[in-house]
Amino acid sequence: MPSDKTGLVITAHPGDFVWRAGGAIALHASRGMRVVILCLSYGERGESQFAWKQPGVTMADVKAQRRDEAERAAAILGAEIEFMDAGDYPLRTTDAMLDRAIDIFHAINPSFVLSHSLEDPYNVDHPEATRFAQTARIIAQAAGHKPDPARSYAAPPMFLFEPHQPEQCGFKPNVILNIDDVWETKRKAFEVLGAQKHLWEYYTRVALNRGVQGGRNSGRAMTYGEAYQRLFPEALESLA
């Protein structure tokens, strides 16, 4: 059944939204939610190891391959995707990109935002993407930025998805999402990412580990899970 709620995923590279948030994307899309992925780069330099092993390959070739993979993966998960081509290693966004991101916040009024951890000593593109996402979220709620009295917008909760080496990134998950119902969909999206085959089994193991932890913390059976760190407090009327 269609839902009037939406989700926004802001990711540095194409693979990131699949490995780390593919379950959340597929789960909410399967419930009728519109999910939009804003992919800041094609991951053409540092996230395409296998692509660069092809003789004579060019930057344009790798970008085209990664864009095609990302579009096919997003379609499998049930999401829309938009690219910004900011480049990677390093990721460098512009004022025009930020302005577009703010417009997306206004246009879809997301119910939640997913992005990277706040720290990542192994990949500075990741926290840069989160800084970009936070900045857009903050400015989008400013009444004086492109004022529109008819606009209804509230800053959404933000969840940080799990980095590759969480212990080194200050990542402390406080949400484990049960993705059992959409695991096969997420796994199919893995298999689109031919440039990063070495990560398919790694992230399968991560999902199984988080599923065990989710079951222990909830008391309900769970096989596959995704871990998130909620960035802002949740306001409740009761703890019961």
CATH topology of domain 6-230: Rossmann fold (3.40.50)
Burial of 56 (0-12, 13-18, 19+ CB in 10 A): exposed
Give the tens place of pLDDT for each residue, 60-110. Answer: 999 999 999 999 999 999 999 999 999 999 999 999 999 999 999 999 999
Distance (Å, whole) CA 177 – CA 234: 16
pLDDT of 170 higher than 70: yes
Give the tens place of pLDDT for each residue, 202-238. Answer: 999 999 999 999 999 999 999 999 999 999 999 999 9
Give the helix/strand (H/E) hosting 226: strand 225-230
Residues facing 39 on adjacent strands: 11, 83
Mean pLDDT value across the chain:
95
In the chain, what are the helix, strand and coil shares in percent, each to the nearest 5?
Answer: 45, 15, 40
Residue type, position 70, single letter: A
* Higher-scoring residue by pLDDT: 179, 4: 179
Scanning the structure block, which residue is given the tokens 């802002």?
A: 232
Distance (Å, whole) CA 81 – CA 186: 16
Mean per-residue pLDDT for 105-124?
97
Residues facing 38 on adjacent strands: 10, 82
Scanning the structure block, which residue is given the tokens 């703890």?
A: 239
Please report which confidence band the pLDDT of residue 196 belongs to, taking 50, 70 and 90 as the band edges: confident
Each domain of the chain, given as residue ranges in start order, spans 6-230
- Chain CA centroid to CA 67, Å: 16
pLDDT of 1 higher than 70: no
